[in-house]
Amino acid sequence: MQVVADEKQVGELVAALADKVREAMAASSEPWAIVGVRSRGDVIAQRLAETLKPRYTGSVDIALYRDDLSEIGPQPTVRITEIDFPMDEVNVLLVDDVVMTGRSTRAALQVLMDFGRPRCIRFAVLVDRGGRELPIAPDFVGLTMTPEADQTVEVHVRPTDDADEIVVFERQPSRSTQPTEADA
């Protein structure tokens, strides 16, 4: 396992990401909502919200919206989706930790649309590692990486994990029953 960014560098990447988003948020007079994808995108979203102070915050769980539910064996754990604001007519900043295939992003977009009709959705991600299988492109990226196809990139954040870091490791040959976020 190789550490690409430590706690300090993760903090800098989040701060830089916040700066990129701030400009876009200021350009719209409509209220913003910052919504993270569980279970690590929501932590990044929370940190962005602390500095950007949007009108609303929330989190989405995509377990029920995955396109591979029948293929992955035991059902993934369903967590709570928290959207406590009217989705209609707000600008949404969707936040995730890593984007790879784009499939979890597609699922998250569908969750958001099931709550209403936002004015627009922008997508911010801490790490874009490439490997897209769907036409999904983040609007704001903290770090762009080009790892090998058999490598997994993970963002670890407190309190979900024990430390703040970005790591790269060789993927296990056998597919686990609970795929990592990057697989989704």
Partner 1 sequence: MSAPAKVKDGPEYAWPHPHVIGLETLSADDIRHILRTARGFADVSTRSVKKVPALRGKVVVNLFFEPSTRTKSSFYLAASRLSADVLDFSSGSSSLSKGETVVDTAKNIEAMGVDVIVVRHKESGVPKMLAEAVDCAVVNAGDGAHEHPTQGLLDLYTIAQRTGRTDTFDLSGLTVAIVGDIQHSRVARSNIYGLQKLGAKVLLVGPPTLLPGTFESFGCEVHHTFDPVLERVDVVNMLRVQFERITSQAFPSVREYASVYGLTTQRMKRMKKDVVVMHPGPINRGLEIESAVADGPNSAILQQVTNGLAVRMAVLYLVHGAKHAE
* C-beta closer to partner 1: residue 147 or 179: 179
Site for partner 1 in 26-45 (CB under 8 A): 36, 38-39, 42-43, 45
122 beta partners: 93
State which amino acid sits at residue 101.
T
For 145, residues 6+ apart whose C-beta sits below 8 A from its C-beta are: 4, 127, 128, 129, 130, 153, 168
Q: Which is nearer to partner 1, 50 or 137 (CB)?
A: 50
163 is a site residue for partner 1 (CB under 8 A): no
Q: Where are the beta strands (DSSP E) in 108-157?
A: 120-128, 140-144, 151-156
Instruction: Please answer whether residues 90 and 32 qualify as being in contact, where contact means their C-beta atoms are separated by less than 8 angstroms.
Output: yes
**161 in contact with partner 1 (CB under 8 A):** no
Contact between 11 and partner 1 by CB under 8 A: the answer reads: no
Least Å from the CB of residue 69 to partner 1: 6
When binding is defined by CB under 8 A, the residue of 82, 119, 132, 151 that contacts partner 1 is: 82
Residue 153: beta bridge partners? 168
Which of 57, 110, 116 shows the shortest CA–CA distance to 82?
Answer: 57
Binding site for partner 1 (CB under 8 A): 36, 38-39, 42-43, 45-46, 49, 57-59, 61, 63-65, 69-70, 73-75, 77-83, 87, 110, 113-116, 159-160, 176-178
